[in-house]
Structure 1
Amino acid sequence: MEDFEQQLESLFKITKTSKISELSKKLEVSPTTIRTWRGRKKIPTSAFRKAELSIQNIPKNKNGSHINLPFYEVSASAGDGSLVEAEEQTQLISFEPEWLDKEIGVNPKEVFLMLVEGDSMYPTLKNGAMIMVNRDFNGLSDGIYVMRHEHNLLVKRLQLLPGGIIKVKSDNDMYEPWEINKEHLNGTDIELIGRVVWSGQRM
């Protein structure tokens, strides 16, 4: 486990800061709070989440109007799968309605935000990238989806094959693809949550 100074250095690197005063602004906490973490010799996980969110490429709101989209404190694993213990909305993130409509073409009531965990979708989706997931998609087509497989939440590329077969692929060649039957979708063990329509990662 990293000690406090190593954790602090990680936060500096993520946020591209070098001073406590700069870091506190990025994390939206007071310098006193960070000094308290030093006294406890532990930085809360929420601070790292906030640091990741601070560097996401979220379109800026120019005209004052905005739509708040829910961000869920749960990660879609771009790896072998991470157990989902809770899917709790932790905050709202603002987007321009015009951008959502013209650039993404989604119904704001049907989309949510979450983070990617793991490297199996690299280089398309990097570890820690924010993704926008659209629950309202018309039919299944080739693309990147968030899906629940047994108790794991995954982000994978799906490819339709003849005979009702779906190939579940990773963009990282180090991970082997696997196949499922379309008839098994949205059953007890497999459920499509939504299609990934945007990523706010740094490219």
Structure 2
Amino acid sequence: MVSDPTRLRLLELAAARRVSLARLSSMLGKNSSYLQQFIRKGSPRKLEEQDRGMLARFFGVDEAELGASKENSYDAHPPAMAERSRRRSWIDVPRLAVGASAGPGAMADGEQAFDTICFSGRWLRSMGLQPEHLSTIVVSGDSMEPSLRDGDEILVDRTLRALRDGIHVVRLGESLLVKRLDVSRPGIVVLISDNPAYPPVECAAQDMAVVGRVVWKGGRI
């Protein structure tokens, strides 16, 4: 029988919203049994700060109801406190109004942010990524299939660093391209498509600029 007030409150909130513990666990990015074990087996002993905050926002309650001390809790009602908690947990990454071509080449005629996508600040830190160096753009074309498909959203890390294996967004003339890079020959860069229907493209290193490395993708199934 569950007797801990925090665990009982979580059960009550889940029942009131008619949402399963497994679904809530998945929302947190955890194993489907995560919250079941928290409530029934006491493991973990307490919810992590980010998980507790996400659940509090989902249910529209103060974090203190889920085990936080009152001074550190998320209050569902005062807007300033809610906004501070949101900023602590989530990072708004700009979506740019350009497409990186996985085909013949997209014209880079504008790089204005028109929207944002929220990423977990903890996840970004675990990936070694700095929010101020990130942006997202849309893939256009099929030359990088099956790795990237037309319409996929990609997260681009614009941190300056030595080239390494992986997929990059590059600027070639007036176009943005998303390709794998071969820099094994001095002064020459080979742009490689994952789709074998597209042959490699060679260019002089000075004719190409690396915009950033692709570190994440998202798209429709």
Q: Tell me the TM-score normalized by structure 2.
A: 0.58
**3-state SS of 2:98 partner:** strand
Tell me which residue corresponds to 1:143: 166
From 167, 178, 202, give the equivalent of 1:155.
Answer: 178
- Largest Rg, 1 or 2: 2
Change (3 A) 1:137 1:198: farther
CA distance in 2, matches of 1:142, 1:179: 17
Tell me if 1:193 matches 2:211: yes
Q: Is the 8 A contact 1:137 1:195 kept in 2?
A: no
RMSD of equivalent CA atoms = 2.0
Bigger RCO of structures 1 and 2 (CA < 8 A, at least 6 apart): 1
CA distance in 1, matches of 2:180, 2:134: 19
Using the TM superposition, give the Cα deviation of residue 180 of structure 1 relative to its aligned residue in structure 2, in angstroms.
Answer: 2.4
Report the number of matched residues.
139
What is the CA deviation profile of residues 165-195 of structure 1, one whole-angstrom value per residue up to 9, with x for unaligned ones? Answer: 321100001111022233x1xxxx4221111
Detail structure 1 runs of 4+ shifted over 6 Å in the superposition: none
Asked whether the equivalents of residues 146 and 155 of structure 1 are also in contact (C-alpha less than 8 Å), the reply is yes
TM-score, length basis structure 1: 0.63
Percent identical among aligned pairs is 40
Query: Structure 1: 5+ residue runs without aligned partners?
Result: 1-58
Q: Which residue of 1 aligns with 2:95?
A: 71
Looking at secondary structure, tell me which structure has more helix per residue.
2
Q: Which sections of structure 2, spanning at least 5 residues, go unmatched?
A: 1-27, 30-49, 55-85
Q: Quick one: which of 118, 123, 134 aligns to 1:111?
A: 134
Give 1:92's match in structure 2, choosing from 109, 116, 121: 116
Aligned mates of 1:123, 1:137 — CA distance in 2? 27
Q: Provide the rounded CA distance (Å) in 2 between the counterparts of 1:202 and 1:91.
A: 18
Instruction: For 1:1-203, list aligned pairs within 5 A.
Output: 62=51, 63=54, 64=86, 65-102=89-126, 104-182=127-205, 184=206, 189-202=207-220
